[in-house]
Structure 1
Amino acid sequence: EGRFFTTGDYRYWMYLHNRDYQGRFDIIHSVGKVHEFKTGLDFTQYNMQNANNNLPFDANPFWEYYDRTPYKIAYYIQDKMDFEGLIARLGVRVDYFDAKAYTFAEPENFMNDTIIESEPNYTISPRLGFSLPVTDRMKLRFNYGHYFQIPAFDDMYTTNDTGVIRLAILRGNTQVGNINLKPQKTVMYELGIENQLTDVFAVGFTAFFKDVYDLTQLRVVPAIPLSYYMFFNVDYGSIKGFELNIQKRMSDMWAFGINYTLQLAKGTAASATEWYYDHYHWDIDVPVIDYWLDFDERHTL
């Protein structure tokens, strides 16, 4: 039997205030006719305040609060080399991220007041690409690179402030952020070919493959008096497919373009809370294997 709520307030209260400061500079310098060097640095300072109450009418609600100021710094250098048609790009990017957070070493142990600090994270991302003319109308290209993305801030900071974490754990069914999550890592390969069929018609084909590591997922942390859930880097995904496009330039008063993409996305989970809902709400243990993900959009036209 179902029913609709026609009166009353929504059970959720939230206050969010975010302010970011960003700065960057880039330098480009050519050496002869072959080399073009690029280098740059960018900096982002985040200022975040988050307060919310998910059960305000309860004596011990789902209360969350954090006030954090993480920052990230990135440096890159790239050499673009032009060998009379063959163009190669070789580069590397270095990222530094500091979550700037503190929490209890053992939040479930009320006898241990040891405070731990988040550990800064360094990542190095190599990049390689080249473009090779096969004929005067056909070009082959290849790209390879590592890419890193810092975790969602909620996955790091939710409910782990020293002022609220112990009360939250006593509430039960609590999700706790992990201040030492690693960045999500993507390794990408891409191979493409472009062919100018006529003066107005062109066709392009690109095959791609991505491995995604260190995706976040909730896992249960056994504790006394009550267990809780924390985010960890435990999931993996892979995405592969190809893209085909046909273009006609404007001529005789008409033009068109068509693009078709085939994509296959598999992995161990489609979201950071999937295991939690399977385990807590449905009381089932799904095997940790690759399966088709929710965002597996097989055909796009």
Structure 2
Amino acid sequence: MTSGTGSAGGTSGTGGTGGTETSGSGDIVRTLELLWDTGRRPSRGPKPGLTLDRIVEAAVHVADTEGLEALSMRRVATELGTGAMSLYRYVPGKAELLDLMLDRVQRPGDPAQLGDGGWRSALEAMARATLALYRRHPWLLRINQSRPLLGPSALDGLEAVLSRIRPMGLTDSELVSAVVMVDGYVVGAARTQVYQEEAERKSGQTTAEFYAAQAPFLEKIMATGRYPVLASLAEDTWSPDFDHFEFGLQRILDGLEVLVERRRGEATARPAR
């Protein structure tokens, strides 16, 4: 469930990279109580103003600014100007905190962002919002989200997108699969973009400079005739101006459109009872 509009929400199982942390690895029941605000609340703590919301917000800030590797109960406590033990009055530990963070960053935006042009515009908006989410919170790519806990943000987002795409005329399982497919594509594209930017920061070398450094050697290789197709490609084939993300997204939606039209044709041809 990873979308700026919350729309890819029910698909977090496709998200992440099998990285340094795993969602759903804490106390499942207690985490769900915290997500849905149905469990016990802590008595007033020693630090006035400390709340679960503030703890989650501080944790997200730490992950955004310092990376997921910096996240710990002690580091979040320092961010809040309190002791680590005071945080345990609100959340059992780091594993549960991580699930609260995941749900927090997925909070749906304005439902109107999904557009009013039918299922295709809704999935397009969902995909772009999900990509933007990963760009804002790159640490999401370090989390194995194969077993997500379904909090309010995740389900709100999934409800929003499914309500928009239900007119596709697919089965319920196919509708969910369509969302999963788009979300999985976006996660892969986001990983490429975020990791590329990370490489640029760490190396001090832009991607264009990186490939330019290889150009003289590759020109010699191409001249050998070993790779005739590659050698025949236009010079602007690898231009950074080409939007690979949008190209791939539109082709996925084209494929879904073929299926939608086929189902409509089958429904029309089916004899009335």
Per the shorter chain, which TM-score range? Answer: under 0.3
| TM norm structure 1 | 0.25
Q: Which has the higher contact order (CA 8 A, sep 6+)?
A: 2
More strand by share: 1
| TM norm structure 2 | 0.27
Q: Tell me which structure has the larger Cα radius of gyration.
A: 1
More helix by share: 2
